[in-house]
Amino acid sequence: MTVYGVIGVGAISAAIVRGLCRTDQADPPPTVLLSPRNAQLAAELAEHFPTVRVAESNQQVVDGASVLLLCLRPQDAPPVLSALTFRPGLPVVSVMAGFTVRALADLVAPVTDLARSIPLPAVELGEGVTPVFPSSPAAITLFGQLGTVLEVPDEQTLEALSASTATVAAMLKYMETTSAWLARKGVSAPLASRYVAAVFAGVLTPLQTAAAVDFRALSQDHQTPGGINEQFLGVLEQAGLSRAVEGGLNQVLERLDPSQNHGSADGNLPVS
């Protein structure tokens, strides 16, 4: 029986735990051992799910786990992990952005069964699409229970996919701006937000299970020649939309993976 040990109980690990313990699965939920910090969230999870327990220390999590999940913020990981002792055969799955396999291997030595992953909050509903590199049986089993696993071919691909997830808050800000604009035009705030969410969900929900999506064609399909979508996109492109998105992505990737030269003269944002 798998015992998932979790170091770092926060937003993403709570989503993973809730996903593992959701009731629509055929198999009974696994045992989960949580690190004690963020005591309130850990206690909430343990109270809600009978197979979840809170350990007394991070070392107790490592010792009691048959698979260890590393879910710390990047700045916390080096001091926390270097204070722990790991056994060689322990499978470790990291969700932490910006730690290469090599850097992780140093932090959890002598562990060799290491996988990196990019779970997103949809894992809570069992609808995650989770890139994994390197692939490991532990990572495939874990994220297979939480949706679909994408085994990516190399670490650069994983870093690029990770960078692309940085665009989500900006997309939500864009929706917030649209919703707030509607409210300023006299639409009630609940109706405004509900409508904006429904417009985007209507476009995006059918794409969720697609093997590939032609976003350019989709964008064109939504632009009647001479129509309002074409007009609005034109205004944003004139303001530098695509260039700003590419420049932001280059900067994020540079931060995640400084060993590679990711920028391009056209794609980088102005420094000021």
Ligand X SMILES: NC(=O)C1=CN([C@@H]2O[C@H](COP(=O)(O)OP(=O)(O)OC[C@H]3O[C@@H](n4cnc5c(N)ncnc54)[C@H](OP(=O)(O)O)[C@@H]3O)[C@@H](O)[C@H]2O)C=CC1
Residue 268 assigned to a binding site: no
Report residue 189 as tokens: 């705030």
| Number of neighbours of residue 88 by Cβ within 10 angstroms | 9
Least Å distance, CB 214 to ligand X, is 27
Q: Which is nearer to ligand X, 192 or 253 (CB)?
A: 253
Residues that bind ligand X (CB under 6 A): 7-13, 35, 37-38, 58, 71-74, 76, 80, 95-97, 118-121
Measured CA distances, 175 to 68, 171, 182, 186, 206 (Å):
37, 6, 11, 17, 19
Least Å distance, CB 141 to ligand X, is 19
Least Å distance, CB 57 to ligand X, is 9
- Name the residue whose CB lies closest to ligand X: 10
Least Å distance, CB 86 to ligand X, is 15
DSSP classification of residue 268: S
Q: Which is nearer to ligand X, 95 or 111 (CB)?
A: 95
- Give the pairing of strands 147-151 and 92-94: unpaired
> Residue 53: helix, strand or coil by DSSP?
strand
Q: For the chain, where are the E strands, in sequence order?
A: 3-7, 31-34, 52-54, 67-70, 92-94, 114-117, 128-133, 147-151
Q: Which is nearer to ligand X, 81 or 192 (CB)?
A: 81
Least Å distance, CB 34 to ligand X, is 9
Q: Which is nearer to ligand X, 13 or 136 (CB)?
A: 13
Percentage helix, strand, coil for the chain under 3-state DSSP, each rounded to 5:
50, 10, 40
Q: Which is nearer to ligand X, 35 or 145 (CB)?
A: 35
Q: Residues forming the annotated binding site for NADPH?
A: 58
Q: Residues forming the annotated binding site?
A: 58
